[in-house]
Structure 1
């Protein structure tokens, strides 16, 4: 099942097709589009379903939204031709297109990957319970940590952030599940902390905060600067006080950027129809409405634009296949939270 493709499976499946530039294709006559989202406990899945409604109400296309492990898996879906469009993180997009940065993409550059638009900042949440006495990143040494779905952008970000303070993968016990399952693990005392990447407020964390006294590990000061120096797609971000029940102080952290991706083989009419319908009807969104607009649709674009998107938004500033910039450094006031990114 495509939704269960893990990082190792991605490499095996895409090793040949990535280099050949194969990708999801939709003929001009085909009206059904497959859209890879993320976990049901995050923002990617509910937002993708809002996009589905808008696209189907304003075009002749029907959209099938699939729950997945998010960014890395979604790139695999695009490369294998199982997805026409997908939501992914801008850092994962850069890695995938350039075949660099992480072992999963080394030697398997997905040169067929194309950007459609960037959407909103995806905030790094490091959530724990108040009784855990975990206050800093260094306190995570030796703990049991859920770093997100195997193959997700969340897992990649978690490992990058932990390594920035000297915590290697053999220095903690790693769990890999969806955001909703991670919340259950915290609630049941099975893990000490969880990384969740998504536009705040994340639904799974909101639910957890109604039953438990949650706390967040801040990323601030020189630690935050070090992280940004090592990974330039991260941007400063803050979870405002009161975002979650019992959270009385703002939380300093970092963010990446969510984006819509497709492939070079996706026909112009499909990309134009999807893009125009979404950006002409952002007022119908209840998630991330304040961030999704034409003015910022190229912020943090990290890979080449699809030609149809270029016609709509104009050329993006590219660097090594794309702009490495990160998110806009601000959170969103909505419900949900990203599946993975």
Structure 2
């Protein structure tokens, strides 16, 4: 992301509501809401690494989102193709995972590309302002993290502007979801003073929608988000199809946003495609992690993408550096250089910015 985009977007204005929230104890994407955070995955595989292998702590997200089941598939692939063992943990996703990487409590994690940029460059969130987490490195980008804006059918919300005066759940305080929601609303001229902001995880937001206590909720996650699927089967909901003019305003507000579409039939009762925007899910690691270990795990995943079920249509070597917002780890760089005959370079400098997070 270029410096002029950073200057043009007044994050301090729209993040005043985030203020006192502690970044590292809070949830990331609402769709990755923690359910028993810090739990290790028990879905198969050995508890002990083979000779020459290591125990690797991998932070995912809540069990109702996309990060956790996808991480379980990565666990299976890595353990079948390397001597290493992955301990997959249920967490609050992006923001919490950044803190765990920064503190050395995790070896790998799934996070959003915008949150990665904020953390490394010490911006975007009040908790990162002047306090960059500089030891985080990129491994690969994976798939679009789609912005779902869920509304009640009787709320008569046909555009972002219609959220003025509405009761809107923007996700947990300090979460990646709240950051995205406030960025999006700010891009069309709405500040937190223009609507009634609610801040909870998605389980509570789902109850609020069911009970008519809110008019809209933001959810960030690769479709289909399991918790959204469940809500759609029990509650009459709609998704905001963002008008083209408003989508363009969002894209111009920050380069990590990309156009996206929720296909018709993804969720029960959604019979037409929904135009929206997305950020990008990515794998991150720590700078000090052994280069050979990172290369082993990167190779295992991207050499065996045909074994994936979750987001399989998006995850590939060809797109693995699209939207990479921070500097690559040397182990990941070595793998991608090998795949491209040595000519591949990271699409991010870690200092000068990010490419657009396109699919």
The TM-score, its normalising length taken from structure 1, stands at: 0.85
Per-residue deviation, residues 207-254 of structure 1 (Å, max 9, x unmatched): 111122211112232211111111111011111222211112211111
Is 1:247 aligned to 2:277, yes or no? no
Per-residue deviation, residues 267-295 of structure 1 (Å, max 9, x unmatched): 11221121111111111111011111111
**CA separation in 2, counterparts of 1:9 and 1:41?**
23
**CA separation in 1, counterparts of 2:158 and 2:93?**
28
Q: Which position in structure 1 is the counterpart of 2:355?
A: 325
Per-residue deviation, residues 268-324 of structure 1 (Å, max 9, x unmatched): 122112111111111111101111111111010010000000011132123553652
**CA separation in 2, counterparts of 1:249 and 1:281?**
33
Q: Map 1:1-341; keep pairs closer than 5 Å.
A: 8-10=21-23, 31-314=54-337, 315-319=345-349, 321=351, 323-329=353-359
Structure 1: segments with no counterpart, 5+ residues: 1-5, 13-27, 330-341
Structure 2: segments with no counterpart, 5+ residues: 1-18, 26-50, 338-344
Count, aligned residues: 309
Q: 1:69 to 1:150 in 2, by over 3 A?
A: farther
Please say if residues 322 and 347 of structure 2, whose CA atoms lie closer than 8 Å, have aligned partners that are also in contact.
no
**CA separation in 2, counterparts of 1:249 and 1:186?**
21
Shift of the alpha carbon at 1:55?
1.5
- Calculate the aligned-residue CA RMSD, in Å: 2.1
SS of residue paired to 1:34: strand
The TM-score, its normalising length taken from structure 2, stands at: 0.81
Q: 1:302 to 1:129 in 2, by over 3 A?
A: same
Shift of the alpha carbon at 1:196?
0.7
Shift of the alpha carbon at 1:91?
0.9
Q: Which has the higher contact order (CA 8 A, sep 6+)?
A: 1
Shift of the alpha carbon at 1:47?
0.8
